[in-house]
Structure 1
Amino acid sequence: MPRKYYLIIILFLFVLFQSFKQSIFEGFVKPENFPEPVYDVAQNPVTKESFELGRKLFYETALSRDNSISCGSCHVQSSAFTQHGHDVSHGIEDRLGSRNSPPIMNLAWNRSFFWDGGVFHLDLFSVSPITNPVEMDEKMENVLEKLRSKKEYREKFKTVYGSDGITGNQVFKALSSFMIMCISSNSKYDSVMRKTGARFTEAESRGYDIFSNNCSSCHKEPFFTDGSFRNNGLDNQFNPDTGRQAITLDPEDRFKFKVPSLRNLTYTVPYMHDGRFTKIDQVLDHYAAGVQDSHTLDPLLKKKGAARYCAYRR
């Protein structure tokens, strides 16, 4: 057989092998430069079937009272799972929430959820938007009744959980199976950190140094958040939301909100818990000259610390 035919066969087999590899569902895989997840994946293993069920539920409008919106309406995949263009979330009948829709990436590493940390486990995460009167405004018993009425869902739940009864716990675990797979870990930053050959440009290296010296105390790598709750000195006349205090009832938590991740920042505009800023420069200007002092202002942003934090704007 001529040599060229051997090469064609080898090429064909290589392409076939790559296609086969891509068709294998690996489940939840921890990125190399990430720590171990907080979410106990062993208690809810992600299979191809559970992931696909969770994804279907994520885009299921039956989870809302009037069957008009889904989880994906406020967490749009093309906008890094945020609601691009809206300062605060828009629910059924275009009802307005009081906070910006946060992204759902890397949730397996979160210890608390929402801007105020009102939920402490991912499997409990979904019940809040489903029942919130300005979001999906539905009761779980109605959601379950709607799902049970559909043969397709009964079959899928039976495949995943061995029963077509469909319980709230199964719905939440299926949604978790989808959400923990929404991992942001393949940026240029990640390639540099994994030492795969990628390198920062000179400008990127300068930016990384500035970030490391001025921003990383709150926006810790590799998630670019430390998961804490802080008062970052926003003007509360714009939005009187008291933040974490509404959950803990502790005056020391007044105006504290969860530190957001800086991953996919280009796609998650607008910024801050109430979406008041539409440009990155506005965020930087706030930290350079707009921080409002108060009793609960984060110590890192107090007068003396602010000068160090905002040196990058000089």
Structure 2
Amino acid sequence: MTASRPFVLTPGEPAGIGPDLSLLMAREMQPQAVIAIASLELLKSRGDLLALDIQLLPVSPGAWPQKPAPAGSLYVWDTPLQAPAEPGRLEARNARYVLDTLTRAGQGCLAGDFAGMITAPVHKGVINEAGIAFSGHTEFLAELTHTEQVVMMLATRGLRVALVTTHLPLKDVAAAITAERLCRVTRILHADLVDKFGIAQPRILVCGLNPHAGEGGHLGREEIEIIEPALALLREEGIDLIGPLPADTLFTPKHLEHCDAVLAMYHDQGLPVLKYKGFGAAVNVTLGLPIVRTSVDHGTALDLAGTGRIDTGSLQVALETAYQMVGSRC
């Protein structure tokens, strides 16, 4: 089914592989209309460098396309660069350009112009060097959409992993695992699995924090004092939760074949397994937003920009996931 509204793609850091990915994606016709919010000049230059014969089709507000672009062509909402962009060479003056593309995409989704947004990687460091406080896509979009709490979830075919905590030093993780936080994150995960993925009664596996899920308190008491009481409360609300389970045995077919998502307590508890299973074919989904947003699972790869030696697998999964999420809401 074709959505009545187009999707938008932000190519991210202009010196990275995002523009390359956008052009390579356009070689084949997508099942939905996708608009790149980017500099026409940048895409033309990168296309020439890569020897890609992609026809750039300018579009503008008030005349958004609803039908997919033909193979070999790409809809583009022209967004001017602030300075020339060279593959592999960061330019702080273009930080504002990157944020302009994200703002246009996010505001367009909020306004109902776009069905959802897909993001290629940005470079946090160069944005901060430009004097702009920026900690990442997720936080930027949360602020733009006035969302208090968001949840990071990565997915690949056959596995979804959401996180209670994200980018924290390991020494700070235990203190951050509170009953309030665990309940808030789990409710968002459950709600978006229902609303955005169309799973009527999602089953969620929950990791323990400690080895062997604390082994009855001998290896830590967080499971007994925090996690188990929080899960009991959530079960009373009708959320189907299994756990807390030892993370070293949870990620096995015996458990995973009967679940819709895994909730890990911290970044390196759940994501190494997911990336081993699907690196290059995984997607980052921001849960809790009032809009659909997916992203690739890799960085800007400055050294590969303009070379053509890149894999579009993660972008394609990000696109497919966004299409499926919107389709589930129709």
Query: What range is the shorter-chain TM-score in?
Result: under 0.3
- Give TM-score scaled by structure 2 length: 0.25
Higher strand share: 2
Kindly indicate which of the two structures has a greater share of residues assigned to helix.
1
Q: Which is higher, the Rg of structure 1 or of structure 2?
A: 1
